[in-house]
Amino acid sequence: MPITDFLERNAREFGNDVALVEINPDVQETRRVTWREYELIESNPTCQYRREITWSVFDEKANRLANMLVSRGIQKGDKVGILLMNCLEWLPIYFGVLKTGALAVPLNFRYDAEEIRYCVELADVDVLIFGPEFIGRVETIVDDIAAGRILFYVGGNCPSFAEDYDKLTSNCSSIFEKRNLTDQDDAAIYFSSGTTGFPKAILHNHESLMHAAIVEQKHHGQTKEDVFLCIPPLYHTGAKMHWMGSLVTGGKAVLLKGVTASTILQTVSDEGCTIVWLLVPWAQDILVAIERGEVKLSDYHLSQWRLMHIGAQPVPQSLIKRWKEVFPNHDYDTNYGLSESIGPGAVHLGIENIHKVGAIGIPGYGWQVRIVNTEDQDVQQGEVGELIVKGPGVMTCYYKNPEATAETLKDGWLYTGDMAEQDEDGFIYLVDRKKDVIISGGENIYPVQIENFLSKYEKIKDVAVIGLADARLGEITAAIIELKEGVSCTEEEIQEFCKELPRYKRPKKIIFAKVPRNATGKIEKPELRRIYKSENLVAAENQA
């Protein structure tokens, strides 16, 4: 059963009910805008404080896109890239692509122009749908990617090198002739990277998407009355698959653009949100704002908020303890998954197991989990090994990368690269990662990319980038820099040089020291983490 069947059912049974709401705190509420701002809203619908669509409109918009794509020759198995910030158009576009039998290919909105080009070519994208935030980046590479590809633009003032999505779809039928899709048909390509920083294209079928939706509803007991607040980016499997619990039940979901403690609480209050998925920094920000008196809980209607859950990064136990002190009636859950396992749910704590905070949990609904040694044998309880998972949500393969697929998929088991152990009650705890990926504020940061960039600086002889513990972000990037002999350099010089990097990739800590390498020339990152862990943990504890 394809995931699009849920949308079509919701349009039939709950057609007049609100499906999606978009809140944009950066825009004044419509009732307060000036006449000039009204003109802006007319020319650019995304420039509104609040927008919403019903389930019937959601399905109609998906159908219009599907018909438009088919009219342009898009067939089953073709690929459609989606490069948008979170907005009301995002999910109808995604489902319109799936209805045609084409593959949806979400792109990280943090990608620079070269990363966009690389991923578009790697995934054999036939159509790229992009928004106003990406005009400059797409224009930079348009000569490289335009040949043989169709570019559609979502938003006002369509650039000359693209076609206007809104005008084209408005002329298409809102009824789409259903395609015969099976569970094993390809559905989507997501991107992930290892420590090399080069994205891999992860291929999933319709069974994967359907399983993710069922898992989310099962884990959190969502009903039609629940209202889900979605803040993380929809290009990520985590955000979208958590939203799919609302898809299964026909419930309302709210997309919040822009995140502060006050906007989160205001949105929960105004929209009656009952389930909120947060990243660690956002939960930290809410608690700090309350402690400082910057927000007062009495100003908001929050009694309906029943569940807060966190994923995408390690969760400090102290954070959840503080959260429960402030919100004693909240259920709590944490989820573990990878893009290769269609996001959250392969392992989850379970709302009934808050006494086990610190663990990532137990196997999720429909999932099998093992912890194995280097000989692929199950380790004894309490021993550390590699976590591997198996279930309907495991990827089909790394697209066009059989070597990486063979290393990661063995007899249906997905080797996660994460080291874990299991306690006497069967709860799994992450110990360390084989991979050196740094997870900061829920975003993956790839050390090699930063190392390659810094190595271009004329005063640097060698450089290593590692992650260090941080109370708010989970981890921060630290650059250990070995200078060339006889030269001097300051932290300010390095930070100035790093302004060419996206802000989230810039090292938060600069350490001038020797970079140790082993006999084969590899950087000894475990040794660096051991050296600098202690002093940074003290700083992290002081922040908590």
pLDDT in the model for residue 520: 40
Domain CATH number, residue 192: 3.40.50.12780
The residues near 267 (Cβ < 8 Å, ≥ 6 apart) are 23, 229, 254, 256, 273
Which single residue is written with the structure tokens 């219009």? 64
Q: Do 331 and 254 share a structural domain?
A: no
Position 380 in a domain: yes
The residues near 284 (Cβ < 8 Å, ≥ 6 apart) are 319, 471, 472
Overall number of domains in the chain? 3
- Residue 474's DSSP bridge partners are 470
Last residue of a domain, one of 370, 401, 433: 433
Domain CATH number, residue 494: 3.30.300.30
pLDDT in the model for residue 85: 94
The residues near 88 (Cβ < 8 Å, ≥ 6 apart) are 20, 22, 46, 51, 52, 53, 255
Position 293 in a domain: no
Q: Do 442 and 368 share a structural domain?
A: no
Q: Do 482 and 390 share a structural domain?
A: no
pLDDT in the model for residue 439: 83
Q: Do 349 and 319 share a structural domain?
A: yes
Pairing of strands 428-433, 413-422: antiparallel
Q: Do 424 and 456 share a structural domain?
A: no
Q: Do 233 and 317 share a structural domain?
A: no
Position 300 in a domain: no
Which single residue is written with the structure tokens 């995408």? 312
Q: Do 449 and 424 share a structural domain?
A: no
Last residue of a domain, one of 385, 408, 433: 433
Position 284 in a domain: no
Stretches where the chain sits below pLDDT 70 are: 28-47, 193-197, 312-314, 432-435, 518-522, 534-544
Find out whether 388 and 372 touch, Cβ atoms under 8 Å.
yes
pLDDT in the model for residue 518: 57
How far apart are the C-alpha atoms of 147 and 138, rounded to whole Å? 13
